[in-house]
Chain A
Amino acid sequence: MALSAFDRALIAATQGGLPLVARPYEAVGAMLGASGEQVQERLAQMLQDGLIRRIGAVPNHYRLGYTANGMSVWDVCDEQAAELGPRVAALPFVSHCYRRPRHLPGWPYNLFAMLHGTSRAAVAAQAAEVAALLGQACRSHDILYSTAILKKTGLRLKD
């Protein structure tokens, strides 16, 4: 799906956030020479097409009390990754789960699952549940805790 000129302008106008005014879609429309209704209609279509995941608030999870955030990484046998990946993803404390390439010899891990807890002990307990689920299909794993957010801006289209 290619972006129209209007789409690009709409993304550029809202990628940093919606204006905090009573009629935000009208305010965005005013920037683009469109009505609030046109903006709402296009956003609704983008939501339906999956071009927008959701419209909402992005919390800084540290500030919500989730001070332990670990990228858990697993060396899962390739033949079983397709079956096990969705099961790991379905665990309630896993927020993102992907299969990604290994970089051997230093990086044998191909399954990535983000874990979030109020302490590292809580995250370690979550990782133990993942390990139990993967069983023999997993050869090794690691947890990379995030120790600082260096940047978090989201998408920025170039002009």
Chain B
Amino acid sequence: MLTTEDARLIDHLHGGFPLADRPFAAVGQALGWSEERVIERLHQLLAQGVLTRFGPLFQIERAGGQFVLAAIAVPEERFEAVAAQVNAFAEVAHNYRRSHALNMWFVVAAESPALAQDALARIEAATGLAVLAFPKEEEYFVELRLPALRQPGAPAGGTPWH
């Protein structure tokens, strides 16, 4: 859980970082913080792994690229080794272990559908395991915008759902 102050910063940054000469100063102004404090807290939150990334989120499909969700049923005894093999592919953007016979779910991001297919084929060859592809046929909504939860007892401050 986060401090109320960090939660405010994360909620604020989820919506959009300003395009301005000194954007951290603009964020600070909105929060009543100094520019230095915004930068320092972001450093810390990234170092602690509370934030995995901070910057532009590219939607490569708009430039002809493709994201493909894929899954493998990995034998339990090989799980770590296969995870290392799959993660070694630069095209693999995310990878999650999930509770199911198909226990490894990852996303391949490539500059074209052909390159995505190629990456999936190479992952299949490298692991010797069948890769099931789940390319999206329709996207209904994509917006991961979870409110940062406050520490118990901390004042809520602001609406949780934007």
A119 in the interface (beta carbon within 8 A)? no
Report yes or no: B137 in contact with A154, Cβ–Cβ below 8 A. Answer: no
Complex-state Cα separation, A47 to B2, whole angstroms? 30
Report yes or no: A151 in contact with B136, Cβ–Cβ below 8 A. Answer: no
Q: Which of A18, A23, A86 contacts B55 (CB 8 A)?
A: A18
Of chain A, the residue at the smallest CB distance from B99 is: A145
Measured between beta carbons, the chain B residues less than 8 angstroms from A121 are none
Report yes or no: A152 in contact with B94, Cβ–Cβ below 8 A. Answer: yes
Measured between beta carbons, the chain B residues less than 8 angstroms from A16 are 53, 55
B97 in the interface (beta carbon within 8 A)? yes
Q: How far is the CB of A83 from chain B (nearest CB, A)?
A: 11
The B interface, classified by DSSP as helix, strand, loop or mixed, is mixed
Q: How far is the CB of A140 from chain B (nearest CB, A)?
A: 14
Q: Size band of the A side of the interface?
A: 35 or more
B14 in the interface (beta carbon within 8 A)? yes
Measured between beta carbons, the chain B residues less than 8 angstroms from A17 are 46, 53-55
Of chain B, the residue at the smallest CB distance from A17 is: B55
Q: Size band of the B side of the interface?
A: 35 or more
Measured between beta carbons, the chain B residues less than 8 angstroms from A144 are 98-100, 102, 105
Report yes or no: B96 in contact with A148, Cβ–Cβ below 8 A. Answer: yes
Of chain A, the residue at the smallest CB distance from B60 is: A155
Report yes or no: B97 in contact with A51, Cβ–Cβ below 8 A. Answer: no
Complex-state Cα separation, A50 to B86, whole angstroms? 29
Report yes or no: B19 in contact with A100, Cβ–Cβ below 8 A. Answer: no
Q: Which of A66, A90, A156 contacts B93 (CB 8 A)?
A: A156
Report yes or no: A99 in contact with B137, Cβ–Cβ below 8 A. Answer: yes
Q: List CB contacts (< 8 Å) of A87-101 with chain B.
A: 88-90, 92, 94-101
Q: How far is the CB of A87 from chain B (nearest CB, A)?
A: 9
Binding site for B on A (CB under 8 A): 1-3, 7, 11, 14-18, 20-26, 36, 40, 43-44, 46-47, 49-61, 63-66, 71, 81-82, 85-86, 88-90, 92, 94-101, 103, 106-107, 112, 114, 116, 118, 142, 144-158
- Leading 3 A-B pairs by shortest Cβ distance: A89-B141, A89-B140, A65-B149
